[in-house]
Amino acid sequence: MDRSQQSLPTGTRVDDYEIEAFLGGGGFSIVYLARELSTGRQLSIKEYMPSKLARRAEDHSVALEPGTHADLFHRGLKLFLQEAKILATLKHPNIVNVVNFFRANGTVYMVMEYEAGKNLQEYINSRGGQLSESFLRTVFPPLLDGLKLIHTRGYLHLDIKPGNIHVRPGGRPLLLDFGAVHRLHQSRRFQPGRVVTPNYAPIEQSEAGGYVGPWSDIYAIGATMRACIEGRPPPPATERHEKDTMRPAVQSFKRRYSPELLQAIDWAMEVDPLLRPQSVDEFLEALRPAPEEEQALPPGKSSVMGRW
């Protein structure tokens, strides 16, 4: 079913907010543009509404679908609430800012600052990839700085992909959707047990007992950067683990992008987690352009203020 048909009607009041428009939704949530009644400011609100488990009742509440296991719904609700609590503590200019969360209508709502802009996946789709080096160097270093804070606080994102990156005017990125966020466990017995986005998730997220860490998020960043260039998701790490037919970026895209950028992407996308950068700082250092390259880039490799 179209998620807009399951959304709250315009004008609905929830807590101190009035719904103004439907913005979008996925399998587990619906996002709205709303106005805070006490201040008049516009915000976005994310509602926990799993499409396969729940339906909209006549009183606007979220009700379980007949025959649905209530424990699945409540487990998801608990994880959604956990996401809101974690995000409320992570204040960074490149991480979505949660200002409030509350229970109502039999579900949970997360209130976030509303930011104009476009989803990175939309950029990729509209341009068929081929996003310029200046675009990549504008968007990804600040995004990595936000990711560094997440890791420093002892968390892993574990679902970085173009669809979870919002690009504001001027190329200022925001990392979204922390529904898969996990505490950083230094144990090979740790297994997230969450939904995995195959084309962007590293092999250790798909293997029982996989040893996830900062290197896991770095793989997803590398895969996202490659998608920006190639215009399509890279092959799943599980396929690459069996037989890696993906050509290195440094070979495939050398005519348009600097070797430093392409080598960094290839390093981040090593199938073996031990061969990848082990920290955000290592990856940022690899991304740093060579001094001579910064001074004179060929067409299509302009500085960060150049054309995207």
* Domain 118-295 homologous superfamily, CATH: Transferase(Phosphotransferase) domain 1 (1.10.510.10)
pLDDT of residue 190: 47
Domains 11-113 and 118-295 share a fold: no
What is the tens place of the pLDDT at every residue in 16-67? 999 999 998 878 899 999 999 999 999 999 999 998 899 999 999 999 988 8
- The whole-chain average pLDDT of the chain stands at 88
The dihedral of CA 79, 82, 86, 88: what is its sign?
Answer: positive
Question: What residue spans define the domains of the chain?
Answer: 11-113, 118-295
**Confidence label for 287 from pLDDT (cuts 50, 70 and 90):** very high
Contacts of 76 (CB under 8 A, 6+ apart): 28, 48, 50, 53
Buried-exposed string 209-238: b where 16+ CB fall within 10 A, e elsewhere: ebbbbbbbbbbbbbbbbbbbbbeebbebbb
Collapsed DSSP state (helix, strand, coil) of residue 160? coil
pLDDT at 210 over 90: no
Give the CATH number of domain 11-113; options: 3.40.50.300, 2.50.20.20, 3.30.200.20, 3.50.50.60. 3.30.200.20
**Confidence label for 129 from pLDDT (cuts 50, 70 and 90):** very high
pLDDT at 301 over 50: no
Say which range, 58-62, 139-143, 303-307, has the weakest mean pLDDT: 303-307
pLDDT of residue 296: 46
**Confidence label for 232 from pLDDT (cuts 50, 70 and 90):** very high
Strands, sheet with 165-168, edge to edge from the N-terminal-most edge strand:
118-119, 165-168, 172-175
What is the tens place of the pLDDT at every residue in 149-193? 999 999 999 999 999 999 999 999 999 888 777 777 644 444 444
Collapsed DSSP state (helix, strand, coil) of residue 144? helix
pLDDT of residue 292: 62
pTM above 0.85, yes or no: yes
Q: What is the mean pLDDT of residues 62-78?
A: 89
Share of the chain above pLDDT 70, in %: 89
pLDDT at 10 over 50: yes
C-alpha–C-alpha distance, residues 164 and 87, integer Å:
14
Cβ–Cβ < 8 Å for 166, 173: yes
C-alpha–C-alpha distance, residues 224 and 285, integer Å:
18
What is the tens place of the pLDDT at every residue in 81-126? 988 988 899 999 999 999 999 999 999 999 999 999 999 999 999 9
Cβ–Cβ < 8 Å for 109, 45: yes
pLDDT of residue 25: 81
